[in-house]
Amino acid sequence: GENVEQHPSTLSVQEGDSAVIKCTYSDSASNYFPWYKQELGKRPQLIIDIRSNVGEKKDQRIAVTLNKTAKHFSLHITETQPEDSAVYFCAANDRGSTLGRLYFGRGTQLTVWP
Amino acid sequence: DAMVIQNPRYQVTQFGKPVTLSCSQTLNHNVMYWYQQKSSQAPKLLFHYYDKDFNNEADTPDNFQSRRPNTSFCFLDIRSPGLGDAAMYLCATGPRLSQETQYFGPGTRLLVL
C-alpha cells in the first residue's frame, strides 16, 4: 500500500513569515493529494488539494506544489498569522481501491508566534 | 448546514462497558469511514462502507464493529472498551471516486474509565 511521510513534525515561525511542509509518497499511481488543517479538538478540514494533472495550485495565502517524478508534494503558507496555528496533515489516495481510501502523513504542528 | 454530524461529541464509558457512537450525513455520499485518532497522531482508518458493503482494515481489532442501516447513518460499536481505546473517533464521508475529498465530522471524544 501507499506510504506517506511528512516533515517536519513541528514548525515554529514568526507571524508574517512563510511556512513550508513537505510530504513524500511511495505509490506512483496515487493521483490525489489533499491537505487537512486540524485545530485542537476540532475536525480535520480540507484546506487545499491537488490532482496529478497539475503541478501547482494556489488559494490566497496557501499553495501546494506537486512533483510526480520525485513523488513529493509541499504545502506553502505565506504571510502566516496566529490563526494558522494548527496540525496539518497531508494525504495521498489509493488508486488500488475504488473507495477513496486516503493514507495520511503523521502531521505537522505549526505554531505561529505573534 | 452541518454535513457530517457525530453524536455524542463526548462519551465517557467504563472499562468493558459497550458503547455506540453515531454518524449521520446529509451529502448522500456512498462511502462512510470511521477513523480512530489518538493524541498527536494521524487519523487511523478502522473500516469503511461503500453503500452496504463493509470493508475492515486488517489491523482493526475485533472489539470494533460497525453498522450502516441506510445511506445517511453509520454506527461504531465498541463491544468491550479498554483503556487503550480512549481516543477521538472521526467519521468521514466521500463519493465513490478515489480522487474525491473526504468530509470529516466533528468527532466523538471517548474516555474510558
- The vertex-A59 CA angle with A42 and B25, nearest 5°, equals 40
Cβ A19 vs Cβ A33: under 8 Å = no
- Whether the pLDDT of residue A39 is over 90: the answer is yes
Residues 40-79 of A with CB under 8 A from B: 41-46, 49, 51
Question: Mean pLDDT, to the nearest integer, of A3-21?
Answer: 96
User: In the 8-state DSSP scheme, what is residue A19?
Assistant: E
pLDDT at A21: 98
Three-state DSSP class for residue B40: coil
Distance CA A58, CA A69 (A): 21
pLDDT at B100: 78
Give the chain B residue whose CA is nearest to the CA of A6.
Answer: B42
Pairing state between β A19-25 and A4-7: antiparallel
pLDDT at A2: 82
Which chain A positions have a beta carbon within 8 Å of B74's beta carbon?
Answer: none
Question: Mean pLDDT, to the nearest integer, of B80-90?
Answer: 96
- Whether the pLDDT of residue B96 is over 90: the answer is no
Q: Does B55 contact A at CB distance below 8 Å?
A: yes
Encode pLDDT of A43-102 as tens digits. 999 999 999 888 999 999 999 999 999 999 999 999 999 999 999 999 999 877 666 788
Q: Does A95 contact B at CB distance below 8 Å?
A: yes
- Whether the pLDDT of residue B1 is over 80: the answer is no
pLDDT at B95: 85
- Whether the pLDDT of residue B78 is over 80: the answer is yes
pLDDT at A95: 79
Cβ B92 vs Cβ B74: under 8 Å = no
